[in-house]
Structure formats: C-alpha cells, structure tokens
Structure 1
Amino acid sequence: MPRWASLLLFFIPVLLLLVGAHVYLFRRLVRDVTEHRGLRRAAGALFTVGFAGAFGARALGAVLPSAASRVVGIVFLAWIGLVLYLLMFTLAADALRTVARWRARRQAASGAEPSEPASPERRALLGRGLALGAGVAGASVTGFGTWRAFHPPDVRDIPVRLPGLPKALEGFTLVQLTDIHIGGVLQRRFVDELVSRTNALKPDLIAITGDLVDGSVETLGPFVAGFGALRARHGAFFVTGNHDYYSDADAWVAFVKSLGIQVLRNRSVTIGDGAASFQLAGVDDWSADRLGEPGYDLDAALRDVRPDRASVLLAHQPSNFDEVARRGVGLQLSGHTHGGQMFPGTIVGDLIWGSRNAGLSRTEQSLLYVSRGCGFVGPPMRVGAPSEIARLVLLPG
C-alpha cells in the first residue's frame, strides 16, 4: 500500500474522532453548563482555534521563527492531549449520570418512594458539578503528563543474566537510549541534558535503538550534533527506527557516523578482546521494507554471530523476537512502543504487545528488554509510562 494511502487511512478516523470530541465537549462542558453568551462565544472560539491548530500547527510553524514555531507546536499538541482526557472524564461523568437515572427509574417502577425528590434545579446542579469535575480532572492529568514528558528521563537499572557472558565482563554496563524523537519540540537543550545524564553513568557501551529524529538533517542537525559528546569505553552504536526512515534514514546514518557513533546496519561487531568479549549485532528497522527500503535482514546481522558466545542484538521494534530467540541470541534491546506513552495507550500497548510492551521478558532462553523511550511523539505527555534511560548491567547467565 502506498504511504499516502496509509496516512489517509490513519488521518481520516483521527479527524472524525477529533471533530466529534470537540463538538461533544463544547455541548457538555459549555452549552449545558452556562447560558452566558459571552462565555459560550469565548469557549466556542477556543475550541475552534484548538481544533484548527491541531491540524495546522505544522504549516503555521513553517512560516514562524524557530522559537515561536516550537511554542506553537507544544501548545497545539498539548491541546490534543487535553481534549483526549477531557473526553475520557466527561464520558465517565455522563456514564455516572446515566446509571443514576436508571436507578431512579427502576426505583420509581418498583413503587418505592424516592429518598429525595428529584428536581430540575438539582439535576442541573449535578450536571454542572460533574462537568466541572471532569474539566478539572482532565486539565490536571494533562498538566502532570506534560510536566512528566519534558522532565529529563529517569535512570532505570536492569540486571540481566546474559548466557555465555565471560566472567571477566561481569558488571558490564550497557546504556540504552531510544525513541528520542528530536524535532520541532524536543531540541538541543533536551539533547544536552540527555547526554549529560548518560555520561554521568560512565557506561561501558551506549546503544541508541532508533527513532532518533522527526525531521531532516538540515533542520535538526545542529540539535542532534550534541550526541557527538556521548562517551563510553567501547563507544556508542546506533540502529535505525521507523521515524528515521520517514526523515531520510541514509542521510541521518551519514550524519550520525560523522559524530563518531557507529551504525549497525544488519551487521555485527565484537565488543571486548579475546575471551573477554561478546558479540553486538544490529538490524535496520522491521518496517523499512514497507517504505521501499532494503530494511531488516536478520540473516546478515547474525552471519558472524557464533551460538557459543554471548550476543546482544539491537533492533528498534520488538517484532520478530520469536525468530530471534529461535536463533539463540541472548539479549535483544528494543524500543518503539513507548510503553503506550499515555493512558489509555498503555492498556492498548499491553493488548498489542503483551509482556513485550515494556520491560524485561523472556522467550525460551533469550531475553528482550523494551524501553519506554526517552522522548515522545504526538501530544507532549507521559501518563503511566514514564520516559527512561535504561542502564543494563550484564551478569554471567
């Protein structure tokens, strides 16, 4: 399927959902709550601008200075998240009202006297209270999620028993960065903070497992250049993610290499010396072939990987891990899922990926670690899936 057709199939349902959400929220949180014409007009203008901005922020940002473009992007992307949470809480409030009405009708049908006579004034007051509660709850979750998204990722320590790891490498620290999504919102300041936190861990090796950027080298190169300051005893390594392909993966691979970061495109290298070593392999993104690129080639990546030695595979997506486990790879590091990023996306992610949505899981004798990622995509929010810098401490299996 052509990419334009895939985008169309994605954006049409999203457009319809946003239209319906804006109309419903205006009716429930504004029209049904106040008869003040000024307030209704102001709220109507806010909803109209918010809806238009959600789809036009990119075009508007293209004609604004970079600083203003970033602010516009943050505001309108956050608006989408706010609408999502207002919708969730307002639907929940309406469900409570529906249950209360059903119970009252059932009580009346049974002939029992209601404990307190219902009145239009009481119903209106209850409706306003529920609407206010839904609005406050939605705004509170949005505020927390936005703060959490821009807060530097926490360090998450994960001890991993890697089959075949030499005793001499016990305690080897591998720091994983993934799904950073440098773009119109996350820029150089975020990069510098991420690099500083990573270097402070004094890692033996750094792995960047894809979705580094959302944009061109020309636009984002000055921001991404900050990753040239990453320091690890055995260096930093990069594999491509699907968003890197949306942004011209070949150009980004060349740029990343210029920063002194090694790129593993369906190949492997040896980390360490002699018997005190393990094999590190990397594959291009699983979905690259759907974008007309050569893409994922597990056979090529594992061609020189010996089954009797410890091995680690860098792969952006946790897809195809059953086959990776069948090949006897000891550990795969992935990202892509963001752990769902925002509730209820966390639940959807668990339904799609199961135990592979986030964290450490095992298939046969092979381990998979899926990081929730460092950045975000879409609304600048993290709710129920905090961002992370994963520090994996390797131990003999």
Structure 2
Amino acid sequence: MLRWITFIIIYLIADFYAFQAFKTAVKSNWLQIIYWLISALVLGNFVLQYYGFNRRDGFSHQHAYAVGFLIALIAPKVILGLSMFTEDVFRVPQALFRYFTEGNEAKGNYFASRRAFISKIALGVAAIPLASILYGIFKGRYNYKVLKYTLFFEDLPKAFDGYKLTQISDIHSGSFDNLEKVKYAVSLINEQESDVILFTGDFVNDKAEELVPYKNIFNKLKAKDGLFSILGNHDYGDYTTWDSETAKRKNLEDLKNVQKEIGFDLLLNEHRYLEKNGEKIALIGVENWGTGGFKQAGDLKKASQHIQETDFKILMSHDPSHWEHKVIQDNYHYHLTLSGHTHGMQFGIEIPGWFKWSPAKWRYKYWAGIYKEMGQYINVNRGFGYLAFPGRVGIWPEITVIELKKGKEIA
C-alpha cells in the first residue's frame, strides 16, 4: 500500500510541475482541463489494473495497455518537468535576490514570470517521445524487419557454402491481438526461402493455450531442411500460478505437442545433423540457461555428447548470457550461436551500420545483433513479438537471415 501512495504522490508532483510548462504555452482553459482529465484517466486505469496485481495471476492485454499509455504519458511530462526545473535554477536565485534587495517593494511577487518560448520549445521536444511511443504501440510492434548477415568460416563444409538460415525468436503469442499482422510476418519469413528455420525460444508468455489460435498460422512456415526450436524461460510456465505441479507439467507437454503440430523439431539438450551432398553440420539445441535468476536447465555437454570436436556447429540457446558465461569458454568451438531473450528491451535508437543503443545494454553485454569473440559468433535476435509494454520504439520486431560462406571474411 505504501509503495502505491508513494508512487501516486511523486507522480502528481511531477505532473503538476510539468503542467506549469503546459499552461504557460497553452492559455485555453478547456485544453488545460483536458490535460488533467487525460492524466487522471491514464493514472486511474493503471492503478485499477495493477492495484494488488501479482504477475503469477497472469498478464492481460489490459495490463499491457495500462503500462503502455502510462509510459506514453510520463515520457513527455518528464521533459516538460525538467524544462521547468531548469528554468527555476535561474528563477529561484533571482527571486531570493529580489526578496533581500526589494523587500516589500516587490509586494510579494519575487518570482519572474515563466517565459512562454521556453515552455513552447519544451512542448515541441516532449511531443517527440509521445509520438514515438504511441507509434510504437499502434504500429511499431508489427513493424517487422528482415535483417540479413553474411558470415564467413574457413572450416565450413564446402556443401554448405551459401547455406541460408532464418532465425526467429521470442514470439510471445499471448501478447498478439492481430491475426493478419502475424500472417503477414509468416509470409515474410517464407519469402526468404532459407534452407532451415530456427526458433530460439519463448513461444508463449505463460501458457500453451496462448499459441493455439496461431497454430494454423505458424504451421505455414516452410523450409526444405525443416524447422527446429528450443525452449525459452517463459515456455516453462514459471511466471504464473498453477493449481498443481501436475497442471504445470501438463502445460509444458501441451506446448511441446503444439510445436510438434506446427512442424517444429524441439531440441531439448540434444542435437541433429543437417546433411547436404555427403557433408554435415551439427545443430545443437539447449534448454534455457541464463544468469540473473533465470532457469538454468540448459546442458551443453549433454546436448553435444555425440558430436565430434571437428564438426561445424550451430548452437541454439535462448539467453545470450549462456554464450558469455559458458559457451565461448567451452573446449568445443561453437562456430555460431543463435539467441534472443533481450527483445532489445523493445526500446532504443538504431542507425544501421552506425549507431545502436538501448537500455538493454545495461543488463546484457550482448543484447542485439552479431558479435564475435574468440573466433565464435553470436546473433542476438531482437524478437518477433513483444511482452509487457505493448509496443516497440526504435527496436523493431526482427526476422534474421544468415548466409554461411566458406572462406575468409572480406574486409
């Protein structure tokens, strides 16, 4: 209860301060009333959705939108509030000076009036994150991007020179609310005509039933060498309440079965060989392994126990912290690891080939895209779906296409 009271008090103080910028620039009483009505509605809806909320009771679309609209409201108000605070850095000393030098002559009006042009500039700047977040909620979450990479390996079997794989990750089907957009994304995946499709975990938020409405969409995925998948941390059902352990285990079995019905070969600490013209590469899939309190069911040794050290290896591991802490130090050389999990935090700024930033970098060393360490590569997919915040801003849903080439990388 105390945390809710504290949150509301802090929010209202910040809101009132931001309003100083709004009323200085906007003189209409009606628009000022609308300002407060919107603030009250968004904050009220958030409190209604989250008062007494327990993540294990489930996370609905209503919860997601309550978060999304609150963020959309807070972001511009932070900018407005900071602008007023910056102005007060100058106004307060001036007011103190007038108090001690003018005394009663100022008739109590020690503070200089706020300057309208500063408030107008602040409103213009604040409109940028507001528009970006609203775009992210209504359009950005389905703004699928195909990212293509070419990776060179001197020891790649000759038959696999030019081999293409498509990676998708973090579908989170329980968050979707638009069948047609998901159909479009599946058709976009098939348009890549890759040799194999690899899914690196988190088909659902919590329950297998979330995937059922999309089963007949994802079963349209096609690749001549098949579809392969692994489990992510959300697939185990650890973040919701179950009537019993039996119900929880049944949910996981149901999810495995739905994946099988779609056409995925689910790898549970095991491997397969992809063969072509008498040559082969090893495809290894481990269960979830992550730092920071996440499940560590992945067993790299078990998954690779019948693989030769000299085999060319592609590893599927949901959480990139596994690569950082276990894989790159392993005695075996895993040429390419495919991960997801981070979502790029669904928020950031990217200028392809020039700049990449997201708050995700404060949590994960490897959070999006291709990295290389000790002669081994990892691709961290930004995710196909979304979770909690019902949108994406700057970090768009991703379909990764990687072409394997034999030889040295061209400088």
Alignment of 1:260-339 (within 5 A): 260-273=263-276, 275-287=278-290, 295-322=297-324, 323-327=326-330, 328-339=333-344
Distance 1:171 1:177 in 2: 20
Is 1:175 the counterpart of 2:178? The answer is: no
**Alpha-carbon shift at residue 36 of structure 1 (Å):** 7.8
Secondary structure in 2 matching 1:183: helix
- Matching residue's letter, 2:17: R
Secondary structure in 1 matching 2:363: helix
Report if the CA contact (8 A) 1:346-1:385 is conserved: no
**Alpha-carbon shift at residue 275 of structure 1 (Å):** 4.0
Q: Deviations over 1:180-224 (max 9, x none)?
A: 221244443232112100001111000111122224333441124
Which of 341, 345, 362 is matched with 2:346 structurally?
Answer: 341
**Alpha-carbon shift at residue 342 of structure 1 (Å):** 1.1
**Alpha-carbon shift at residue 353 of structure 1 (Å):** 2.2
Alignment of 1:76-115 (within 5 A): 76-98=66-88, 100-101=90-91
Alignment of 1:203-214 (within 5 A): 203-214=194-205
Report if the CA contact (8 A) 2:175-2:387 is conserved: no
Distance 1:20 1:134 in 2: 25
Report if the CA contact (8 A) 1:29-1:131 is conserved: no
Alignment of 1:1-397 (within 5 A): 19=8, 22-30=11-19, 33-34=22-23, 42-54=34-46, 56-57=48-49, 72=62, 75-98=65-88, 100-101=90-91, 122-123=113-114, 125-126=116-117, 128-129=119-120, 132-162=123-153, 164-246=155-237, 248-273=251-276, 275-287=278-290, 295-322=297-324, 323-327=326-330, 328-343=333-348, 346-354=357-365, 356-397=366-407
* Runs of at least 5 residues in structure 2 that lack an aligned partner in the other structure: 52-59, 99-108, 241-250, 350-355
Distance 1:25 1:106 in 2: 23
Q: Deviations over 1:139-169 (max 9, x none)?
A: 2222333355233311110111245321111
Q: Deviations over 1:337-369 (max 9, x none)?
A: 122321489443223323x11111112121111
TM-score scaled by structure 2? 0.76
TM-score scaled by structure 1? 0.79
Aligned CA-pair RMSD: 3.7
Report if the CA contact (8 A) 1:225-1:259 is conserved: yes
Residues 277, 84 of structure 1: CA spacing in aligned structure 2 closer, same or farther, 3 A cutoff?
Answer: farther
Report if the CA contact (8 A) 1:89-1:138 is conserved: no
Where is the helix percentage greater, Structure 1 or Structure 2?
1
Residue identity over aligned pairs, in percent, reads: 23
**Alpha-carbon shift at residue 17 of structure 1 (Å):** 8.3
**Alpha-carbon shift at residue 303 of structure 1 (Å):** 1.3
- Matching residue's letter, 2:162: G
Moved over 6 A (4+): 35-38, 102-108
* Runs of at least 5 residues in structure 1 that lack an aligned partner in the other structure: 1-10, 60-68, 109-117
Q: How many residues in Structure 1 have an aligned counterpart in Structure 2?
A: 366
Distance 1:241 1:288 in 2: 13
**Alpha-carbon shift at residue 299 of structure 1 (Å):** 1.3
Residues 41, 95 of structure 1: CA spacing in aligned structure 2 closer, same or farther, 3 A cutoff?
Answer: closer
